[in-house]
């Protein structure tokens, strides 16, 4: 079975505490790893939960608040020092972050690999990353500073070849790859055999994960992430403090659950808890009253899709 899982490294907001670290997650898709946000202490969490960064493909930073990126420069240094990485590393972040992060890299880091910073317009939806099996799209969010989320989506699997049908037409195996990729077959006498006769659609259903970090309540999110398998949505406050949430550019647990409901998500994971709460029971109960299939994230939790 294809692997698609998320490891929660930090679920708190503002500052790291004895209970929660600040925002960071690892998305593992078939053993290719993606770091999403990198709050203070992220590398400690990575070593604690034995994440193998040798397969790290890219890093995505949602916005320029410290609880989402203060761990980035130390981590990049450690990757060079401890892992001796030589492969280029691509980092996607709001365009306002590129200049100061590049300054820190040039001033404080001596790396055996190249860091490539991609400045992103957080107001636009676009594909940031793509390989042969999946894509990562930006999700515009509404916060106090330019901010975006990220939508990880698997691509549909290639059609399944029907060898017996190919044999009927005397098709050489050297043609199989092109046929699997969607090509019709032209017989020696010039007839076209449509691809639909030689293949059948894969029954594999592509998986998806949406990460919505700091954002005020934004119903328009639901359209872009509609049908997502797992939605992570910040739930900094309880509903009784929704005015405070709006002022701070954050969401309540009820509002996060409402987005999941509108998006027809299969599961909701909440996080980014305010330090004002001793536990997440009230936040979780509030979210579950709107969207029952909700979990409250904790450090070290692994959610498989």
Q: CA distances (Å), 175 to each of 99, 191, 198, 250, in order?
A: 50, 15, 11, 54
Query: Strand 267-271 and strand 230-234: pairing?
Result: parallel
The answer for 145, left when phi > 0, alpha when psi is -120 to 50, beta otherwise, is beta
How far is it, in rounded angstroms, from Cα 272 to Cα 254? 14
Known active-site residue 279:
no
* Cα-Cα end-to-end distance for the chain: 11
**Cβ(297)–Cβ(270) under 8 Å?**
yes
**Cβ(33)–Cβ(78) under 8 Å?**
no
Which listed residue (37, 67, 214, 258) is catalytic?
Answer: 67
Residue with tokens 């449509």: 194
The dihedral sign for the CA sequence 80, 86, 90, 95: positive
SS3 for 179-227 is HHCCCCEECCCCCEECHHHHEECCCCCCCEEEEECCCCCCCCHHHHCCC
Active-site annotation, residues: 67
């Amino acid at each position: 079975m294809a692997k698609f899982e998320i490891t929660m490294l930090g679920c708190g907001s503002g500052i790291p505490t004895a209970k929660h670290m600040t925002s960071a997650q690892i998305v593992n898709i078939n053993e290719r790893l993606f770091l999403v946000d990198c709050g203070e202490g992220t590398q400690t969490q990575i070593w604690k939960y034995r994440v193998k960064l040798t397969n790290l493909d890219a890093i995505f930073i949602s916005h320029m608040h410290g609880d989402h990126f203060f761990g980035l420069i130390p981590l990049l240094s450690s990757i060079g020092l401890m892992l001796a990485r030589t492969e280029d590393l691509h980092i996607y972040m709001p365009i306002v972050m590129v200049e100061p992060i590049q300054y820190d890299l040039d001033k404080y880091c001596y790396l055996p690999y190249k860091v490539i910073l991609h400045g992103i317009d957080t107001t636009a939806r676009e594909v940031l990353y793509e390989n042969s099996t999946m894509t990562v799209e930006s999700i515009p969010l509404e916060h106090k500073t330019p901010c975006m989320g990220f939508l990880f989506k698997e691509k549909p699997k290639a059609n399944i070849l029907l060898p017996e049908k190919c044999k009927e037409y005397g098709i050489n195996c050297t043609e199989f790859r092109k046929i699997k990729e969607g090509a019709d077959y032209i017989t020696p006498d010039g007839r076209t055999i449509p691809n639909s006769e030689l293949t059948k659609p894969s029954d594999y259903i592509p998986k998806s994960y949406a990460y919505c970090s700091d954002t005020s309540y934004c119903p328009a999110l639901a359209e872009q992430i509609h049908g997502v398998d797992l939605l992570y949505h910040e739930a900094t406050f309880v509903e009784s403090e929704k005015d405070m949430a709006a002022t701070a550019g954050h969401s309540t647990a009820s509002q996060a659950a409402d987005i999941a409901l509108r998006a027809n998500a299969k599961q909701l994971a909440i996080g980014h808890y305010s330090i004002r709460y001793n536990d997440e029971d009230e936040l979780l109960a509030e979210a579950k009253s709107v969207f029952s299939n909700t979990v409250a994230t904790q450090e070290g939790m692994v959610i498989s899709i």
